[in-house]
Amino acid sequence: MEKDHKPSSTEKPVLQKVAKLFLYTFLIVIAVVQVLPLVWLFLFSLKNNQEVFNLPPLALPQDPQWGNYARVWTEGNIGQYFFNSVYITASAVILTVIFASFVTFAITRMKWKLSSLVLGMFMVGLMIPVHSTLIPLFNFFLNVNLMDHPLAIILTYTAFNMPITIMILLGFYYTLPRDIEEAAIMDGCSVHRLFFQITLPMTAPVVATTAIINMIYNWNEYVFVNTFISSDKFKTLTVGIQNFIGQYQTDWGAIGATLMISILPILIAFFILSNRIVEGITAGSIKG
């Protein structure tokens, strides 16, 4: 009877190299597929109308139209939309992270009877469809005179991002050692100082993760801004681009430049801080 053939010590390195080569090739193909749309959009933004329709999608423009970017920034009011996106996104992210940290600290570090009920109420928010709240929120903001005001968007983003932010923070908070906090309390540290000077700094990795996730969602959100904001001075890039396309529907290069401006900031931020996402998500599983 023949025995099963087992790889020898000399064959194992060869098999490992083949496996790595296959894996790297597969990852490179996936990366190229992911990057191609961005390359196409960038080249698209540098073409005029004739080149858009006559040249292949990935062909280099014969005369790059860098003026498309300057034109959309000055004539298309993109600068105002860009500022509104930054202002609303940053405000909502700060409020969401701070309030979610308050809630998570109270649930995991304090003993009170309704902690489980409060946590359950926040988790129910994960199951509420966003579009089902448009009419109630519209009526609410109309009654409190917040329609066509940035505060309506900031409050909406904060409320809808709280459940997922709390859920991410919970896994990390449960793994934090209590020894440092107990020692601080014995030394007379108040609850407020305990949170801001000890607990919050220790949760920096997961706080950065939630901030990035919230930032990406807020920057790309369209439905709430389109519903609650009507003035151009308060519109964000996602809605402002729609108006710009309607106004310059034949200037395809300008449209491409507008789209490129809208995705470039969030793309840069994601590349710079992407390691924080993995670090924050995995931190809770490796601590303790």
Average pLDDT, the chain: 84
| pLDDT, tens digit (0-9, with 9 covering 90-100), for 86-107 | 999 999 999 999 999 999 999 9
Write the Ramachandran bin of 148: left for phi over 0, alpha for psi from -120 to 50, otherwise beta. Answer: left
**Encoded tokens for 256:** 């491409």
| pLDDT, tens digit (0-9, with 9 covering 90-100), for 145-163 | 999 999 999 999 999 999 9
What is residue 53's predicted lDDT score, i.e. its pLDDT?
82
pLDDT of 4 above 80? no
What is residue 281's predicted lDDT score, i.e. its pLDDT?
59
Among positive and negative, which fits the CA dihedral 149, 72, 245, 270?
A: negative
pTM: 0.81
